[in-house]
Amino acid sequence: MKVLILGSGGREHALAWAVKRSTRVTEVVCAPGNGGIAQGSRCVPVDLKDLDAMVRLAVAEQPNLTIVGPELPLSLGIVDALEERGLRVFGPTKEAARLESSKGFAKQFMKRHQIPTAKYAVCTNAAELEKAVDFFHPPIVVKADGLAAGKGVIICSSRNIALEAAHGLFTGSLLGESAERVVIEEFLEGDELSFLCLSDGVHVAPLVPAQDHKRIGEGDTGPNTGGMGVYSTDAMLDAGMQEWIMHHIAEPTVRGMAEEGTKFKGVLYIGLMMTARGPEVLEYNARFGDPETQAILLRLENDLVDVLEACVDGRLNEVELRWSRGASACVVASSAGYPGSYKTGFPITGLSAAGQVPGVEVFHSGTSRVGSQLVTCGGRVLGVSATGDSLEQALGRAYQAIAEIQFEGIYYRFDIGHRALARK
């Protein structure tokens, strides 16, 4: 069977790697892919902002299954468009993807379904905001309503700073594009946890938990990035807590979406804050996380294609997910300057030595091929990922492998997993 993967990052490389392990798959096509994905799969160019171009590509390729990686094609309605043309596709429809593409929708949905989350107000103009802000104690969280690639959240230490931030979002001076709606939220304290589930619209199955590191600097300091590393261990979440999250958050979300006529099929990624009151939802994503997917798929023992097809067909209840015990981790190597401006085009060496470390897979995020040379072409360049019997072993292997890799300006954090290691 032929599988088409839409996207170009480390998440898509991990998906391509897992799909290729399926005995039923004969061909993997990735659009647009990257230099690493192209080593094992056919990559074809496509603009992920151009719905018609993606549809034309899928219609021409006639894959047996399409997997959508990033949020943008989902929010443009790629799933609806491909289903209309009789193609099988894994991911939520445009309406269902609003759980991610509109923070306002997500907050109001959680309120309707009594799903625990921070107190909030959705405002459409400065006057509304000025009234609402007085109901919140600083720090106050201000968020743009739409997709903002992690940049649309501002934590404000005073009422005036919150008003200024909201003004910046409304006028477009902060994100470049003006927000139609701004959400203000109570600030939550605690440890963050990424809880990812699969859903076929009715049934829900949790994936192993993961914890990512969003900040660029050691000790979780500095600006937010797409993610500088992640780890997954069995010990991160005990069975009782997992059951609570399923019962009070994941299942009510999927049930609520179905009741409202917008069944959610795909990956439901729930960003949680483990507060003193219990877990509360920070955000939903409607797709696999990047780099969470790299660490999670390394531990999956099932055939990924069987699992995703069960979601598409509404028979996820027939699948039992099996996971390798122990741990996995992914350390992201980025370009100097990221998440600010950075240069690209630097040759990358040491990948084969890195790949020989036991348990290691190197997933490419921002690489391309110039002739026979692999070069950097993004902020996040590689996700050096490893499994192990313990978190220490997984991290040790990932760091041993990443030390083999060189490109000009390579940067990575040395403290991925530090919170989990400190807890031991």
Q: Which residues bind ligand AMP (CB under 6 A)?
A: 118, 141, 143, 150, 153, 185, 187-188, 192, 214, 271, 282-283
Nearest distance in Å: CB 188, ligand AMP: 4
| 209 cis-preceded (ω within 30 degrees of 0) | no
Beta carbon of residue 232, minimum distance to ligand AMP (angstroms, whole number): 17
Provide, rounded to whole angstroms, the least separation between the CB of residue 210 and ligand AMP: 13
Min CB(136)–ligand AMP separation in Å: 10
Which two tokens mark 184? 């203000």
Any idea which residue has 């179905």 for tokens? 258
Cβ-based nearer residue to ligand AMP, 8 or 102 = 102
Give me the least distance between CB of 129 and ligand AMP, in Å please.
Answer: 16
Q: Are 227 and 215 in contact (CB under 8 A)?
A: no
Q: What are residue 402's phi and psi, to 5 degrees?
A: -70, -25
- Give the nearer residue to ligand AMP in terms of CB position, either 70 or 388: 70
Residue 245, both tokens: 């999250």
153 versus 403: smaller Cβ distance to ligand AMP: 153
- Name every residue whose Cβ is closer than 8 Å to that of residue 261 and which is 6 or more positions away in sequence: none
Q: Which residue lies nearest ligand AMP, judged by its C-beta?
A: 283
Looking at the Cβ atoms of 194 and 233, the one nearer to ligand AMP is 194
| CB of residue 92 to ligand AMP, shortest distance in Å | 18
Closer residue to ligand AMP in complex, CB, 143/299: 143
CB of 327 to ligand AMP, least distance (A): 22
User: Least distance to ligand AMP from the beta carbon of 135, Å?
Assistant: 14
What 3 state SS string does the chain have? CEEEEEECCHHHHHHHHHHHCCCCCCEEEEEECCCCHHHCCEECCCCCCCHHHHHHHHHHHCCCEEEECCHHHHHHCHHHHHHHCCCCEECCCCCCCHHHHCHHHHHHHHHHCCCCECCEEEECCHHHHHHHHCCCCCCEEEEECCCCCCCCEEEECCHHHHHHHHHHHHHCCCCCCCCCCEEEEECCCCEEEEEEEEEECCCEEECCCEEEEEEEECCCEEEEEEEEEEEEEHHHCCHHHHHHHHHHHHHHHHHHHHHCCCCCEEEEEEEEEEECCEEEEEEEECCCCCCHHHHHHHHECCCHHHHHHHHHHCCHHHCCCCECCCEEEEEEEECCCCCCCCCCCCECECHHHHHCCCCEEEEECCEEEECCEEEECCCEEEEEEEEECCHHHHHHHHHHHHCCCECCCCECCCCCCHHHHHHC
CB atoms within 10 A of CB 26: 11
Toward ligand AMP, which CB reaches closer, 281 or 307? 281
Backbone dihedral region for residue 190 (phi beyond 0: left; psi -120 to 50: alpha; all else: beta): left
In the complex with ligand AMP, the residue whose CB is nearer, 53 or 153, is 153
Would you say 95 or 283 has its CB closer to ligand AMP?
283
Q: How far is the CB of 220 from ligand AMP (least distance, A)?
A: 9
User: Residue 195 CB, nearest distance to ligand AMP (Å)?
Assistant: 13
CB of 330 or CB of 362, closer to ligand AMP: 330
The nearer residue to ligand AMP, 45 or 223, going by C-beta atoms, is 223
Which residue, 108 or 349, has its beta carbon nearer to ligand AMP? 108
| Shortest Cβ 89–ligand AMP spacing (Å) | 25
